Amino acid sequence: MSFDVSHFNAEQAQALARKTIEIEAAAVLGLASRVGPEFARAVQIMLACRGRVVVMGMGKSGHIGRKIAATLASTGTPAMFVHPGEASHGDLGMVTSVDLVLAISNSGESAELTAILPVLSRQGIPLVAITGGLQSALARQAHVTLDSSVAQEACPLNLAPTASTTAQLALGDALAVALLDARGFKAEDFARSHPGGALGRKLLTHVSDVMRSGEQVPRVLSSTSFTDLMREMSVKGLGASAVVDGAGRVLGIFTDGDLRRLIEKGVDLRSSLAGEVMHVGPRTLRADALAVEAVELMELHSITSVLVVDDDGVLCGALNTNDLMRAKVI
């Protein structure tokens, strides 16, 4: 099917877009006044669930349900989505007696959903409903019903699920956030369920995971000649070298930046020793520190390399901004 775009009205399209956003925003805001004891009961019953929250919904409500299930799972509430139509043909076996069903339907009368309600009831499975049909079959069967009704859909025909699905999504997010808070879910917990994401890398990656160790770490004694110090820095490619004592404890650091500053001052470096040119009391970290702490330390002190030491101050590693970039921490 093709359309004559010559009659396209840009102003009308923009006006409809604004109207759609206004209607959906009003639908979401309208939910706030309806959040009361029933919402708290829903959170309480979901907290008490020893299994998983099984989210169900047909059509557009099903798409919303999949997103809600994903949000719940990533914020500390084990959840999955089961299609009501498939549930009647065997997938209901995925739902166990320790699970809870979160059913979503604007009308509350979706045939595929209402068909399995008696089975859920016989098994004693708690049912939380998100619906706009407060007198519907779904609402009558549910242990807790959350009102997602809207005054109108954003669709000009008032037919396509638009404002109603936005309201469902907002209620699902509200449940997830309330559950997250009640469980004491923290950023570290979120990171563990998102190991491949940026937050996961920042909160799960430790200095020990990205630092250079062993022979990769540039180090010299304080009595090392300047020439040998430069050779060590060149070979190891960190842009710096640790200066240590005979026991391996860190005394100082010498960096490319130190070299530039000394040259600018006209210092004769040929006869210098590492201990004479090093920067005393360098910034250090422990190996069990988060890599993001290394980033913060570097940014705070405008440095590009950090030495890693143990509890006795003995050098055990080093890293620079390139190492952190390769690990995608920055």
Which of 115, 100, 112 minimizes the C-alpha distance to 46? 100
What is d(CA 207, CA 215) in angstroms, rounded to the nearest whole number? 17
Mean pLDDT of the chain: 90
- pLDDT band at 267, cuts 50/70/90? confident
pLDDT score, position 195: 55
- pLDDT band at 270, cuts 50/70/90? confident
What is d(CA 142, CA 3) in angstroms, rounded to the nearest whole number? 46
Write the burial class of residue 228 (CB in 10 Å: 0-12 exposed, 13-18 middle, 19+ buried): middle
Domain boundaries 5-185, corresponding CATH code: 3.40.50.10490
Q: What is the pLDDT of residues 210-241, one digit of tens each?
A: 999 999 999 999 999 999 999 999 999 999 99
What is d(CA 167, CA 165) in angstroms, rounded to the nearest whole number? 5
In this structure, are strands 305-309 and 315-320 parallel, antiparallel, or unpaired? antiparallel
What is d(CA 297, CA 307) in angstroms, rounded to the nearest whole number? 11
Percent of the chain with pLDDT over 90: 75
What is d(CA 19, CA 154) in angstroms, rounded to the nearest whole number? 7
What is d(CA 313, CA 205) in angstroms, rounded to the nearest whole number? 22
Domain range list for the chain: 5-185, 207-326
Give the list of residues 6+ apart from residue 276 with CB closer than 8 angstroms, or none. Answer: none
Q: Is the pLDDT of residue 1 over 60?
A: no
pLDDT score, position 203: 67
Which of 3.10.580.10, 3.40.920.10, 3.30.590.10, 3.40.50.300 would CATH assign to domain 207-326?
Answer: 3.10.580.10
Which of 277, 306, 279, 296 minimizes the C-alpha distance to 212? 306
Q: Considering the entire predicted model, what is its pTM?
A: 0.66
Higher-confidence residue of 108 and 268: namely: 108
pLDDT score, position 329: 78
